[in-house]
Amino acid sequence: MQIVLAPMEGVVDHLMREMLTQIGGYDLCVTEFIRIVDQRLPARVFHRICPELQQGGKTLAGTPVRVQLLGQEPHWLAENAVRAVELGSPGVDLNFGCPAKAVNKSRGGAVLLKQTEQLYQIVKAVRDAVPVEYPVSAKIRLGYDDTSLTLANAEAICAAGASSLAVHARTKSDGYRPPAYWPWIAKIKQHVDIPLIANGEIWSAADAALCQQQSHCQDIMLGRGALAMPNLAQTIKQQQAVMPWPQVLQLLMHYSEFEITGDKGKYYANRVKQWFSYLKLQYPQAACLFKQLRLLTKSTDILTLLTYTLQQQKTSA
């Protein structure tokens, strides 16, 4: 079984990738998307989204990190895909699943699921341009408004030469509302001969097992569940116990040091609140702490609260 850490714009940046891969269980990470319009982007854009390019295309824990591109022009996607691998990305991923209105309005992401031929042309252009030893993967949803083109889209991506296909088992219209329709991935599997990766609504080891059973896929991709339970990959792969709350607090402190000293310090307050919105789904203690934390805007105040809470945990232990 391979476990992939999903790309989540504004959430899973290089700092989060470093932390989660240090905990372990991941075989591959995919970056937040790089938006491609009508030019070959400079190296600095790739390095900003994927600093791991400067350390061999891997996190410090040794997990490969694949650059993801989003756009609608085959030529420019191909040009930038070549640049990505030249800069050190161990392959390229193509985003056909992003549900964001702004992205779809500019003909990127999930809206391309309405255009099967365009999917084919994009994947083929990128596959033809990128040296054969580098994987070209893609991520889709089941469709835009419905599943009428699901099989045709998957077949087109496969025929164009994609190395693998991650399937978020919901349509764009479904958003993130449960359930995820994992049996649809099993249907797709009957029509394509490339590896499939199942994604959507995997919050626990039990969910992962059920997803594998219903999708007929061994490989899975974790997104929001990985943020709600930081060692989710290890609970699935190694049958580890769920990470206890005091250890999660230590992790939050570690993340805070990363964020505040890093180049994204100004986003720290929003980032940590966003992470808490997922943690509280798994940990009741996070829900209580979030009530205090959400009122704070300064990094120093948030750090003080986390430090105090951790000390209280140690005292009561």
Residues 247-296 have pLDDT tens digits of: 999 998 888 877 666 555 567 888 889 899 999 999 999 999 999 999 99
What six digits make up the tokens of 70?
């989003």
Choice among 98, 158, 211, 217 that is catalytic: 98
% of the chain at pLDDT higher than 70: 97
Identify the residue with better confidence: 271 or 112.
112
Residue 77 binned pLDDT confidence (cut-offs 50, 70, 90): very high
Predicted confidence (pLDDT) at residue 214 exceeds the cutoff of 90: yes
Neighbour count for residue 268 (Cβ, 10 Å): 21
Nearest to 97 by CA among 87, 111, 83: 111
Check if the beta carbon of residue 85 is closer than 8 Å to that of residue 46: no
SS3 65: strand
The mean pLDDT of 3-20, rounded to a whole number, is 92
Residue 141 phi/psi, 5-degree rounding, is: -100, 175
State pLDDT tens for residues 57-68: 999 999 999 999
Residue type for position 209? A
Per-state percent for the chain, helix, strand, coil, to nearest 5: 50, 15, 35
Angle at the Cα of 170 from the Cα atoms of 125 and 271, rounded to 5 degrees: 85
pLDDT of residue 67: 98
Residue 10 binned pLDDT confidence (cut-offs 50, 70, 90): confident
Mean pLDDT of the chain: 94
211 catalytic residue (yes or no): no
State pLDDT tens for residues 114-156: 999 999 999 999 999 999 999 999 999 999 999 999 999 999 9
Residue 56 binned pLDDT confidence (cut-offs 50, 70, 90): very high
